[in-house]
């Protein structure tokens, strides 16, 4: 059985949901950890954006990148509705992921 890659399109927000960030990655747990620990310079570090509120999974990298670009072009209201449909309380979907040290977390944890 060939190894199948996973790709994720994800939305992060800050504590008061004023800022939305759309990203794509092949390792959602690692990437969210990097955002939470502010390991990457840029928008999410500057605006304290680290709360995972939505994600989609696909095996097609081209589809993932296309979807990220599509969502980035949306107005804020449409992005909010995407989150509300699956996560109406805007809970941090990664809140329990980091109870163990990051080196012990499986890189393939599913939704």
- Looking up residue 53, the CATH number of its domain turns out to be 3.40.1440.10
pLDDT of residue 2: 67
Kindly report, residue by residue over 51-102, the tens digit of the pLDDT: 999 999 999 999 999 999 999 999 999 999 999 999 999 999 999 887 655 5
Distance CA 26, CA 55 (A): 12
Q: Quick one: tokens of 49?
A: 């954006």
Beta bridge partners of 52: 12
State phi, psi for 78 to the nearest 5 degrees: -70, -40
Q: Classify residue 2: in a domain, yes or no.
A: no
pLDDT of residue 109: 44
pLDDT of residue 105: 45
Report, as an integer, the average pLDDT of 23-50. 95
pLDDT of residue 51: 97
Which residues constitute the domain of residue 69? 7-104
Q: Classify residue 109: in a domain, yes or no.
A: no
The pTM for the full model equals: 0.85
Per the structure, how many domains does the chain have?
A: 1
Report, as an integer, the average pLDDT of 44-48. 95
pLDDT of residue 98: 79
Q: Classify residue 77: in a domain, yes or no.
A: yes
């Amino acid at each position: 059985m060939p190894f199948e890659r996973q790709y994720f399109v994800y939305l992060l927000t800050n504590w008061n949901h004023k800022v939305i960030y759309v990203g794509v990655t092949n390792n959602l747990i690692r990437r969210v950890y990097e955002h939470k620990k502010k390991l990457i310079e840029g928008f999410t570090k500057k605006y304290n954006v680290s709360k995972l509120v939505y994600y989609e999974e696909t095996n097609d990298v081209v589809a993932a990148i296309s979807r990220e670009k599509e969502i980035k072009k949306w107005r804020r209201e449409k992005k909010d509705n995407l989150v509300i449909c699956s996560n109406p309380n805007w809970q941090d979907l990664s809140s329990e992921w980091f109870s163990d040290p990051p080196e012990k977390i499986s890189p393939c944890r599913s939704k």
